[in-house]
Amino acid sequence: MRPDFGMTRSLGVVLTFLLALAILPGCGESADRPTASDPPWQTRQSDLARDLSPAATAEDIDQLVAGNHKLAIDFYQALRALDGNLCLSPFSIRIAFAMAYAGATGRTAQEIAEVMHYGLDDETLHDAFNALDLDLEKRNMPGDAENDPVELHVANAFWGKINRPFIEEYLDLLAVHYGSGVRLLDFGREPETCRRIINEWVADETRDRILDLLPEGSIQPPTVAVLTNALYFKAPWALPFQEDQTHEGVFFCLDGSHAGAPMMQQAETFGYAESDGYQALEMNYRNDELSMVFLLPSAGRFEEFEASLDSGVLAGILEDLDPASVAVTLPRFSFESPSLSLKDVLMGMGMVAPFTTPDFAGMIEGGGIWIDNAYHKTFIALDEKGTEAAAATAIVFFESAIEPPVAEFEFTADRPFVFLIRDRVTGTILFVGRVLDPSS
């Protein structure tokens, strides 16, 4: 029988949150923050309180987490062709789209559910997300004189355009399952100010690790709603590295070049597995309920391993982890991603209707809104003491423009024609003429 090694359901969330490929850092805004006592928005809130005892079963949570694994691999495979490092949070993306899904119907809802691997009926899905969120809160652990705290913070917010008829049942669902009301902003007259306000909220919820989630131009006068999720994680290792054991080493890059990197070292008992083509290592954090798993392909086989990685392979690796004495060498690193536009990725994965032929009639009276884009940004830092990571997701809805009618016929005046000007009330012809050469 294998020891648990902290591989609770939360391992799936943390593992998929920490899967990494390469990206360049971004930069932040310097605008002053609004104070909590004087928020620059109005709030429309359901009268219902959050359900602190949701009806989701352990099996429901397991199914929800299994879908999280699948989405993690889907995004990894969709983005692995990018250059450089990448960190993404499928959990953040999934919970943001769950709030969008709550207002979707028909084909729009079906495609969101399929791409996000929800796999539960609507009521059970929202119960399960609520239960998982509340369960994750239990991973927090206060610090003391010798140990840093364990922090795992999830926050959701719905930003709506003022004077729009958001449906009461939708507001009730947000309040009961996601602890969120609607913060009302004037997207029509002050889109750039609204963008800054939302970015500042994200920064506050992620301890300033996620800045500029919404890039310039992402909020425009047609914006009618923005759904946001923020995720912050910081935890010390159960067995920290000793800083005096860290030395400057060499990291061998895929293109054959070498890079200098501070290499941390220790030898302890960790979860470990190996097979043809890879090694796997699991290191627990201080509360032993959260961990970080490293997947190390054999030299020269990274692309092969990466291409073969799917949710079944990942599940098998996690199942194979056993305690072993391991001499560990890891690079110390820190990077943040730029704000990723997810629209093309999601459409390529099969989520087309929410962007093209949407039906969000469950969110706003009459529907008539569509997803313009979704944005995702992450930060991660790993050192001798532990790991800090943050992610945020924003889904931006526009009000649908009135489409011009589809023409049944064509009229191209590229040859001589006759014209007349008339009074339609009396039928009086005021002018009549012809054009034989418009350049004459």
CATH code at position 219 = 3.30.497.10
Q: State how beta strands 20-22 and 429-435 pair.
A: unpaired
Shared domain check, 199 and 64 = yes
256 compared with 403, residue with greater pLDDT: 256
Shared domain check, 322 and 340 = no
Averaged pLDDT, 292-302:
88
Averaged pLDDT, 404-419:
58
Shared domain check, 141 and 49 = yes
Structure confidence at residue 420 as a pLDDT band (50, 70, 90): low
SS (H, E, C) the chain: CCCCCCCCHHHHHHHHHHCEEECCCCCCCCCCCCCCCCCCCEEECCCCCCCCCCCCCHHHHHHHHHHHHHHHHHHHHHHCCCCCEEECCHHHHHHHHHHHHCCCCHHHHHHHHHHHCCCCCHHHHHHHHHHHHHHHHCCCECCCCCCCCEEEEEEEEEEEECCCCECHHHHHHHHHHHCCCEEEECCCCCHHHHHHHHHHHHHHHCCCCCCCCCCCCCCCCCEEEEEEEEEEEEEEECCCCCHHHCEEEEEECCCCCEEEEEEEEEEEEEEEEEECCEEEEEEEECCCCCEEEEEEECCCCHHHHHHHCCHHHHHHHHHHCEEEEEEEEEECEEEECCCEECHHHHHHCCCCHHHHCCCCCCCECCCCEEEEEEEEEEEEEECCCEEEEEEEEEEEEEECCCCCCCCCCCCCCCCCEEEEEECCCCCCEEEEEEECCCCC
CATH code at position 278 = 2.30.39.10
pLDDT at 342: 96
Rounded to whole angstroms, how far apart are CA atoms 73 and 16? 8
Residue 419 resides in a domain: no
pLDDT at 30: 32
Residue 108 resides in a domain: yes
pLDDT at 5: 34
Shared domain check, 353 and 300 = no
pLDDT per residue as tens digits for the range 180-196: 888 999 999 999 999 99
Shared domain check, 120 and 69 = yes
Averaged pLDDT, 163-187:
92
Averaged pLDDT, 374-378:
95
Shared domain check, 261 and 154 = no
Structure confidence at residue 299 as a pLDDT band (50, 70, 90): confident
Shared domain check, 148 and 211 = yes
Residue 438 resides in a domain: no
Expressed as residue numbers, the domain containing 69 is 9-237+335-399
Q: Which of 46-55, 82-91, 230-239 has the lowest mean pLDDT?
A: 82-91
User: pLDDT at residue 155 above 50?
Assistant: yes
Shared domain check, 256 and 206 = no
Residues in Cβ contact with 292 at an 8 Å cutoff, skipping those fewer than 6 apart: 14, 15, 18, 282, 283, 285, 382, 387
Rounded to whole angstroms, how far apart are CA atoms 74 and 311? 9
Residue 424 resides in a domain: no
Domain boundary among 331, 364, 386: 331
Domain boundary among 312, 331, 350: 331
Domain boundary among 283, 309, 331: 331
Averaged pLDDT, 167-172:
93
pLDDT at 21: 32
pLDDT at 20: 36
Q: Which of 30-34, 102-106, 289-293 has the lowest mean pLDDT?
A: 30-34
Shared domain check, 272 and 153 = no
Shared domain check, 206 and 233 = yes
State the chain's mean pLDDT as an integer: 84
Residue 410 resides in a domain: no
When divided into structural domains, the chain yields a total of 2
Shared domain check, 249 and 220 = no
Kindly report the backbone phi and psi dihedral angles of residue 174, in degrees, each rounded to the nearest multiple of 5, phi listed first. -60, -40
User: pLDDT at residue 128 above 70?
Assistant: yes
Residue 265 resides in a domain: yes
Residue 407 resides in a domain: no
Residue 411 resides in a domain: no
Percent of the chain predicted with pLDDT > 70: 82
User: pLDDT at residue 6 above 50?
Assistant: no
User: pLDDT at residue 421 above 70?
Assistant: no
Residues in Cβ contact with 433 at an 8 Å cutoff, skipping those fewer than 6 apart: 418, 419, 420
pLDDT at 438: 59
- pTM, whole model, 2 decimals? 0.83
Angle between helix 90-101 and 9-18 (nearest 10): 110
Structure confidence at residue 345 as a pLDDT band (50, 70, 90): very high
Shared domain check, 63 and 161 = yes
Q: Which of 78-92, 267-281, 368-382, 398-412 has the lowest mean pLDDT?
A: 398-412
